[in-house]
């Protein structure tokens, strides 16, 4: 039986259907992926960061720089746009300043 809205399927995804990836993409264990990413970070001479944090940073950057929510959602593998907005959209200093300026205009005599 398919999962109800808001529930996850208990059936593990297969490589052919997971995240709309081509059939040639194979799933790998997260520890192998993490070790390879850390090796590449070291080779590139960049600071080691958790893949979760790198993913969050990229998706947040996309969400805060005009990439449509539907595209950010597709990259993240989420179908719930409100989740994308809650998790990845953060106010930046320029946006906060613009809001403050607008509030000042509205409250000025």
Read off the pLDDT of residues 42-97 as tens digits, 9 standing for 90 and up: 999 999 999 989 988 898 888 888 899 889 889 888 888 888 888 887 777 777 88
Measured between its terminal Cα atoms, the distance across the chain in Å is: 62
> What pLDDT shows up at residue 1?
46
Residue that is written with structure tokens 């005599």 in the block: 109
Q: Is residue 4 part of a domain?
A: no
Strand ranges for 1-109 from DSSP E: none
Q: Is residue 107 part of a domain?
A: yes
Q: Is residue 32 part of a domain?
A: no
**What is the domain range of residue 75?**
50-109
DSSP 46: -
Tell me how far CA of residue 17 lies from CA of 20, 23, 25, 26, 55, in angstroms.
Answer: 6, 8, 10, 11, 21
* Number of domains composing the chain: 1
Q: Is residue 93 part of a domain?
A: yes
Q: Is residue 2 part of a domain?
A: no
């Amino acid at each position: 039986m398919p999962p109800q809205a808001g529930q996850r399927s208990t059936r593990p995804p297969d490589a052919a259907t997971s995240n709309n990836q081509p059939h040639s993409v194979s799933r790998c264990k997260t520890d192998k992926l993490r070790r390879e990413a850390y090796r590449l970070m070291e080779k590139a001479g960049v600071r080691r960061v958790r893949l979760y944090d790198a993913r969050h940073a990229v998706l947040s950057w996309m969400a805060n720089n005009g990439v449509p929510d539907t595209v950010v959602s597709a990259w993240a593998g989420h179908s719930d746009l409100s989740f994308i907005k809650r998790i990845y959209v953060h106010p930046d200093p320029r946006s906060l300043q613009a809001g403050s300026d607008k509030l000042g205009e509205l409250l000025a005599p």
